[in-house]
Structure 1
Amino acid sequence: MDRPIVACVLAGGTGSRLYPASRSDRPKQFLSFVGGRSLLARTMDRTAFADERYVLTRDSFAEAIHEHAPEAGVLVEPAGKDTGPALVYAAWRLRHRFEVEPVLVCLPSDHYVADDAVFSRRLERAAEIAVETDGLVTMGVEPTRPATGYGYISPAGDDGDTGTDSALSGGTETDDYAAIDRFTEKPRRETATRLIESGAYWNAGIFAWTPSALLREAAESPLAPLVDALEEGNPDQGFEAIDAVSVDYAIMEQTADAYVTPLSVGWDDLGTWDAVGRVLDGNDGENEVVAGDVLSIDAADNVVAAPDAHVSLLEVEELLVVAFDDRILVGPRGASQRIRTIVERLREHNAF
């Protein structure tokens, strides 16, 4: 490809669902759950193919980025307003850095990937598709279960309908993407099962586009005031003018120029303790031990993360037991998404 590829890694969130390991001054992208390297550092390893790499973050994290990604440039977003404004801002900042407009591959910093080499090749292919289509490309993970915590992407078929007869049914690099029929956000289990049966993919939040393509579509979206302000050279004013919104909701679900390409590799979003326990090392055969010394007696299917403590489990099942510093969290595994509620309460008292 005759365009430079620029990787843009999003690392501005705190990861509230991984409380108490993740705190306001210790976001999850800086944490290391296995192998001694942080989630951000491992993500940067997967983008080594790119011509340049940047980390998009908030001001309070910017200095620490260099410890985990010394090879990367740092972009500081004016305010934390979700992925929509962040990615539009990054596109505006990066579009004129090369003689030829680059292609951006944008990805979160907190994912698990089973095969980095396969993942990198698919990212490069997504960049090629972005140039071929002049559109917005997202990567769809082939589901392994009817997960209710993920969004789903339904590709359009050759006849415009959704289903397994879509353009993704081929196996060559000329038929490995399709237009997107629709997005479905965090469905019920029954709906998730039907979506998988119809050929839908998990929405991984991994994208490829040229800056001009994203800014073109953003100008016709709720982020138009931000685009206008950026063109006037006033990003602070632009962020003040818009509400927090995801790039999926603001742009991807609205545009007619969105495409999906499959990511056929073991993948998980390490956004909850349930996910961390599911994919990382330390399974003792009955419980998923992320960190710590655990004695288990007639206990099963629990996730334990307590690096500095001994935990004894007695006749309990499907619990989260997490202890970091002076904080302890105990709850059912099925409630891992609700840990944000705890964090919201703590923030009210400046205790997060």
Structure 2
Amino acid sequence: MDRPIVACVLAGGSGNRLYPASRPGRPKQFLTLGGDRSLLSRTLERVQFTDERYVLTTEEYVDTVHEHAPSAGVLVEPESMDTGPALVYAAWRLRDRFDAEPVLLAVPSDHRVEDEAAFAATCERAAELALETGGLVTLGVEPTRPEVGYGYVVPAAAENDVGDVASVDRFTEKPDREDARRLVEVGAYWNAGIFAWTPTVLLRAARDSPLEALVSALEDGEPERGFEAVDAISVDDAIMETTDDAYVTPLSVGWDDLGTWDAIGRALDGDEDDTVVLEGDVLSIDSEGNVVTAPDRHVSLVGIEDVIVAAVDDRLLVADRDRADRVRDVVARRRTEETR
């Protein structure tokens, strides 16, 4: 391919669903979560196949990003406003930095990938497809179960398929269990939030979206004004779900989004009674399917199943694993109470 591939690693969020380990002062991308290096460090290593690597973050995390990703460039968003404004800003910043317009590869910093060689090959192919289609390419994970915690990408009918890429029929938000089963049966993919596109194509699509005011302000050289003019919104909601130029290519690499305690439990091996321990001294009696992190603490579990126990600093969370996604509601509730 005669264009550079540039990785844009998203690292500006706070990771509310991994509370209390992940909090505004130490978001999940800087945590190890069962490994020996941070999620951000592992992600940067995973995208070493690209020609250039940039971390997209906010001012408050710049120094920490440099510690975890010293060889990567850093793009500082004027404000943390979800992936829509962030990726449009990155496209504007990177469009003219190279002799030939690059293909941008947008990669979240909180994923687990088992087969990193296959991941690199699929991402390189996605970059080629972005040029071949002239559109916005999303990587769809081939599902292994009817997961209710992920969004889905439904490809268009088979007659519209071209090799290893299909146009997107629709995106579907997190379904209930029955709808998730139907989506898997019709060949839908999990929405991994990994994308490939050229800056020109993304900025053109953003002009016909809720981010139009941001694009106009960026072209005027006024990014701060642009961020003030739009609401926080994901790139899926702002652009991918409404554009006619979305394409999907399958990703089969042993993937998981480490955004919840339940996902952390799936990613790590449990001990003999199937309790996953990230940190802490844990005694488990007649208990299974639990996820525990309790640095410098002793925790005893007796006769409980499928529970999250997270004790960090002065905060304790106990939650049902099936409701791990609702941990973000705890953060929202506490934030509201603290501002009263």
Secondary structure, counterpart of 2:158 in structure 1: coil
Q: Is 1:175–2:169 an aligned residue pair? A: no
Confirm whether residue 223 of structure 1 aligns to residue 211 of structure 2. Answer: yes
Paired with 1:280 and 1:252, the residues of 2 have a C-alpha distance of 32
Q: Is the 8 A contact 1:321 1:328 kept in 2?
A: yes
1:27-66 counterparts in 2 under 5 A? Answer: 27-66=27-66
* Greater mean alpha carbon deviation, residues 339-348 or residues 47-56: 339-348
**Is 1:290 paired with 2:268?**
no
User: How far apart in 1 are the matches of 2:272 and 2:278?
Assistant: 10
The corresponding residue for 2:239 is: 251
CA offsets, 1:90-112, max 9 Å, x none? Answer: 00000000111000000100001
Counterpart of 1:17? Answer: 17
CA distance in 1, matches of 2:46, 2:125: 14
The SS at the match of 1:291 is strand
Aligned-partner Cα distance in 1 for 2:71–2:163: 35
Instruction: Tell me the equivalent position of 1:171.
Output: none
Aligned-partner residue type, residue 314 of structure 1: V
- Counterpart CA distance in 1 for 2:255 and 2:216 is 37
- Aligned-partner SS, 1:305: strand
Mapped pair 1:186 → 2:174: yes
Separation (CA, whole Å) in 1 of partners of 2:319 and 2:5: 43
Note closer, same or farther for the CA distance 1:5–1:238 as it changes in structure 2 (3 Å cut).
same
Please report the TM-score for the alignment, with normalisation by the length of structure 1: 0.94
Unpaired segments ≥5 residues, structure 1: 161-166, 168-173
Secondary structure of 1:123 counterpart: helix
1:212 aligns with 2:200: yes
- Mapping for residues 94-243 of structure 1, pairs under 5 Å: 94-159=94-159, 167=161, 175-243=163-231
CA offsets 1:317-347 (integer angstroms, 9 cap, x no match): 1211111122211121122111112112332
The whole-number CA distance in structure 1 between the counterparts of 2:227 and 2:35 is 38
Write the deviation string for residues 74-99 of structure 1: whole angstroms up to 9, x where unpaired: 00111111111110000000000011
- Spell out, residue by residue over 1:235-274, the C-alpha distance to the aligned partner (whole angstroms, 9 max, x if none): 1111111111111111001111110000011111111101
Q: Residue 315 in 1 paired to residue 312 in 2?
A: no
Give the whole-Å Cα distance in 1 for the aligned partners of 2:331 and 2:214: 29
Aligned with 1:140: secondary structure?
Answer: strand
Identity percentage of aligned residues? 65
Tell me the TM-score normalized by structure 2: 0.97
Tell me the residue number matched to 1:277.
265
Counterpart amino acid of residue 343 in structure 1: V
Partner of 2:83: 83
Q: Check whether the contact 1:34–1:281 (CA below 8 A) recurs between aligned residues.
A: no
Displacement of 1:307 in angstroms is 2.6
Tell me if the contact between 2:273 and 2:284 (Cα under 8 Å) persists in the aligned partners.
Answer: no
SS in 2 for 1:12: coil
Deviations 1:268-287 (A, max 9, x none): 11111010011124444322
Q: Is there any run of 5+ residues in structure 2 with no aligned partner, and where?
A: none
CA distance in 2, matches of 1:54, 1:132: 24
Q: Quick one: which amino acid aligns to residue 259 of structure 2?
A: G
The C-alpha deviation readout for 1:170-194, integer Å capped at 9, x for no partner, is xxxx711110001110011101101
Tell me how far 1:292 sits from its aligned partner: 2.2
Larger CA deviation: 326-335 vs 222-231: 326-335
Could you list the structure 1 runs, at least 4 aligned residues long, displaced by more than 4 angstroms after superposition: none
CA deviation string 1:32-69 (max 9, x = no partner):
02331000000001110111100000110011101111
Partner of 2:4: 4
CA distance in 1, matches of 2:295, 2:119: 30
Equivalent pairs, count: 339
Q: What secondary structure does 1:65 align onto? A: helix
Match of 2:73 in 1: 73
Alpha-carbon deviation of 1:234?
A: 0.6
Contact 1:291 1:305 in 2 (8 A): yes
- 1:264 alignment counterpart: 252
Q: CA RMSD in A?
A: 1.3
